[in-house]
Structure 1
Amino acid sequence: MYWNTDSPYLYFRSTDDGRIMMGGGDRDFKNAKRRDALLYKKESELTKAFAKCFPEIPFILDYSWAGTFGETKDGLPYFGKEDPQSKQHYILGFGGNGITFSVMGMQAILHSINNTPHPYLEYYKFDR
């Protein structure tokens, strides 16, 4: 896995069937049609970035797509529950980091369900 956390970020990873998945270079948008219209330009940018990092590995584009990420103002997700008496919990606002933050959120929510403290419940609450 290759992950460059600059802004905009860039990542590559291999798949079980020997292909490479890559993404990054996200841009803010308000119109999905305009976002989708940038797809071919984004393909070119990502392919060039891959070639720059790994010039010895041939790359043939197989499939591409555009997606939308919901992101909070500070880039961190929200975990917890609004009402201490409620059994309803929330884990949201992952942006493009859902795999990492979903594991962290799961740990925090399990503690909340069991009524045991966890620092993530404080760090990732709505009114942080």
Structure 2
Amino acid sequence: MNLSDSARLLLRQMLQKPLYVVVRVPNDMSRFDELIEDHLKWAIAAEGRGELFASGPFFDERGEPGTSGGMSILRATSIEEVQTILSDDPFIQEKVYTASIRKWLLMEGGITVNLRFADRSYTLE
């Protein structure tokens, strides 16, 4: 790439946090209802271990979550580590979904957290 100096400066200032995006593609949805609770428990545990940055289903035109697949963003040091993390997901184990993995750099964006100390409450936007 032949970037301008100003473009290079902008890029250097950005976060450049390497993460991994997992796109889940429906394969055999016949066991979805049976396995959703175990999948959610897996996701909550992965979040608790700091492996899961963000995750959720895609929506189809009827608005049914999961029937069009989903996406997870994982914190890991390699694709092999991501594969190990995913190997414990019941949806992957039982081939409800197949998964493609892509390394990704988080560059821009933001999150707003409002903490209120008086009542120990918060909002997340």
TM score, norm. by length of structure 2: 0.34
TM score, norm. by length of structure 1: 0.34
